[in-house]
Amino acid sequence: MTFIWALIIGFIVGAVAKFIMPGKDPGGIIITILLGIAGSEVATFLGRAIGWYGPNQGARFIGSVVGAIIILAIYRWYIGRRANAGGPAGPRY
């Protein structure tokens, strides 16, 4: 049941992050869910490292959204860098 909640919250957090940072991103709903889940994990890790959360606490909604925005910014930077460097353009026949 925890996995299902992680998917639901991950989707919501990822959608909010994409709403805050609009733009063209390759990927659909799966990327949005993964972005939200990763953002929540990043926010939990950073919050525990700083001392905002205890050992058994997770990031709250706003912290998860901030984490997802950080992940989205890194994702866009990486994809943009790869596209500018002449990255893989697909299969060549």
- The pLDDT tens digits for 4-16 are 776 777 788 888 8
Confidence of residue 89 (pLDDT cuts 50, 70, 90): low
Question: For residues 5 and 24, what is the distance between their CA atoms, to the nearest angstrom?
Answer: 27
Q: Pick the closest to residue 32 from 79, 78, 65 (CA basis).
A: 65
> What backbone phi and psi angles, to 5 degrees, belong to 12?
-65, -45
The identity of residue 55, as a single letter, is P
Inter-helix orientation angle 29-50/2-20, to 10°: 100
2 has a pLDDT exceeding 70? no
Q: What is the pLDDT of residue 85?
A: 64
For 17-64, write each residue's pLDDT tens digit. 888 877 776 667 777 778 888 888 888 888 888 888 787 777 778 888
* Cα-only R_g, the chain: 15
- Residue 83 has a pLDDT of 65
